[in-house]
């Protein structure tokens, strides 16, 4: 079986199922496990993703105002690869190539691949997507095993929660500010916190810094979508006074790898946040206290 994944989370799901050897193509953003970089990238972005938050936000808006898709898909290469399964998404046109683009390219390429489109809005949906991908790839038993392991780890994380549950705000974008929703409130709850702001399952809304402060969080997590930890620390440094004013404790996190990506590593995000809320050290590759990284 030949599999093409057009979403980083889907690539992680496929590899967690032990099907890395069946992957033949990926999106340009698929970066984990590291060896998927050897596969041909079938997409590219119309904007420079290395721009600072405010500039990147404006560039994305400019592309949409022009009526263009944010990503391009290499239909000719897709036809050459002739996959049996294509995994894509319908959750966010900013995050990855759109479902309509994928279907259009498959029609143009006369490729009869089975399409699995992911649209997770809650933490449970992410686990269900693991099963869906496994079934499409003729590996339902592997899917059940992976999900059972992830569920066990989440249950263990929840069971380790003791005492008060701190109120936690998660910042998903810095300029303009955005509060995290979708599956992230569920993840905060699993980590032993109480998510403040938008409810789970809803789109992530823009908010002002004053509105975020008014939520009176005990802790804030800064995890801009698409940013690794180095980039998050860099941008947070310029806003350190503002971020410190949100809550007594502020964690900077690699949102791109863990919190914003609806794949198996969302459980690592919950485990990391749970440890931090308990006052325990967190892996330096995943997160850092603002007080230690911005002074």
Output the DSSP codes for 222-237: E--TT--HHHHHHHHH
Sign of torsion over alpha carbons 262, 197, 235, 254: negative
Domain boundary (85, 114, 149) is at 149
CA gap 168, 200 in Å, rounded: 13
* pLDDT value of position 292: 43
Looking at the structure, tell me whether residues 143 and 171 fall in a common domain: no
Considering the chain, what is the average pLDDT of its residues? 92
**8-state DSSP, 40:** P
Domain boundary (103, 120, 149) is at 149
Looking at the structure, tell me whether residues 145 and 57 fall in a common domain: yes
Model confidence band, residue 291 (pLDDT cutoffs 50, 70, 90): low
* 8 Å CB contact between 18 and 32: no
In a domain, 267, yes or no: yes
CA atoms within 13 A of residue 38's CA, in its CB half-sphere: 7
Lowest mean pLDDT among 46-50, 233-237, 281-285: 46-50
The secondary element (H helix, E strand) that includes residue 73 is strand 71-73
Proportion of the chain above pLDDT 90, given as a percent:
79
In a domain, 156, yes or no: no
Looking at the structure, tell me whether residues 175 and 75 fall in a common domain: no
CA distances from 295 to 64, 233, 277, 279 (A): 38, 11, 21, 20
Q: Give every CB contact of residue 143 below 8 A, 6+ residues apart in sequence.
A: 17, 130, 131, 132, 133, 134, 135
In a domain, 158, yes or no: no
Looking at the structure, tell me whether residues 142 and 17 fall in a common domain: yes
**8-state DSSP, 41:** B
Looking at the structure, tell me whether residues 124 and 7 fall in a common domain: yes
N-terminal to C-terminal alpha carbon distance within the chain: 51
* pLDDT value of position 5: 97
Q: Which domain holds residue 36?
A: 3-149
In a domain, 61, yes or no: yes
Q: Give every CB contact of residue 13 below 8 A, 6+ residues apart in sequence.
A: 87, 129, 130, 133, 263, 264
Looking at the structure, tell me whether residues 204 and 261 fall in a common domain: yes
In a domain, 160, yes or no: no
Domain boundary (149, 177, 198) is at 149
CA gap 142, 148 in Å, rounded: 10
Q: Give every CB contact of residue 156 below 8 A, 6+ residues apart in sequence.
A: none
In a domain, 157, yes or no: no
Looking at the structure, tell me whether residues 79 and 141 fall in a common domain: yes
- Residue pLDDT, tens place only, 83-130: 999 999 887 766 778 888 899 999 998 999 999 999 999 999 999 999
Tokens of 182: 């979708």
The CATH number assigned to the domain holding 235 equals 3.40.50.1980
Q: What are phi and psi of 294, to 5 degrees?
A: -110, 0
* 8 Å CB contact between 118 and 7: yes
On the question of pLDDT at 294 being above 50, the answer is no
Looking at the structure, tell me whether residues 235 and 284 fall in a common domain: yes
pTM: 0.93
Q: At 56, is the secondary structure helix, strand, or coil?
A: helix
Q: What are phi and psi of 180, to 5 degrees?
A: -85, 135
What mean pLDDT do residues 27-48 have?
A: 93
Looking at the structure, tell me whether residues 172 and 134 fall in a common domain: no
In a domain, 203, yes or no: yes
Looking at the structure, tell me whether residues 169 and 133 fall in a common domain: no
Q: What's the domain count of the chain?
A: 2
In a domain, 276, yes or no: yes
Looking at the structure, tell me whether residues 182 and 98 fall in a common domain: no
CA distances from 224 to 130, 185, 293 (A): 24, 15, 16
CA gap 30, 37 in Å, rounded: 7
Looking at the structure, tell me whether residues 72 and 183 fall in a common domain: no
């Amino acid at each position: 079986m030949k599999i093409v994944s057009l979403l980083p989370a889907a690539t992680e799901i496929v590899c967690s199922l032990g099907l890395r050897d069946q992957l033949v193509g990926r999106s340009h953003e698929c970066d984990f496990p590291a060896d998927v970089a050897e596969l041909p990238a079938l997409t590219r972005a119309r904007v420079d993703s290395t721009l600072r938050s405010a500039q990147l936000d404006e560039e994305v808006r400019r592309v949409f105002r022009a009526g263009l898709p944010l990503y391009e898909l290499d239909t000719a290469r897709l036809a050459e690869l002739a996959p049996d399964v294509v995994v894509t998404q319908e959750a966010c046109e900013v995050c990855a190539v759109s479902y309509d683009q994928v279907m259009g390219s498959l029609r143009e390429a006369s490729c009869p691949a089975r399409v699995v489109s992911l649209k997770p809005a809650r933490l449970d949906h992410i686990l269900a997507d693991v099963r869906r991908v496994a079934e499409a790839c003729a590996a339902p038993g592997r899917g059940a095993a992976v999900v059972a392991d992830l569920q066990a780890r989440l249950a263990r994380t929840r069971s380790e929660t003791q005492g008060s549950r701190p109120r936690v705000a998660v910042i998903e974008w810095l300029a303009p500010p955005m509060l995290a929703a979708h599956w992230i409130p569920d993840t905060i709850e699993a980590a032993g916190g109480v998510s403040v702001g938008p409810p789970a399952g809803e789109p992530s809304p823009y908010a002002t810094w004053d509105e975020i402060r008014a939520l009176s969080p005990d802790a804030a997590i800064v995890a801009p979508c698409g940013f690794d930890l180095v980039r998050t620390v860099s941008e947070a440094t310029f806003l350190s006074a503002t971020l410190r004013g949100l809550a007594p404790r502020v964690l900077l996190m690699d949102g791109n790898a863990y919190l914003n990506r609806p794949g198996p590593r969302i459980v690592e995000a919950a485990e990391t946040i749970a440890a931090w809320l308990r006052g325990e050290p967190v892996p330096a590759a995943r997160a850092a206290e603002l007080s230690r990284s911005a002074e």
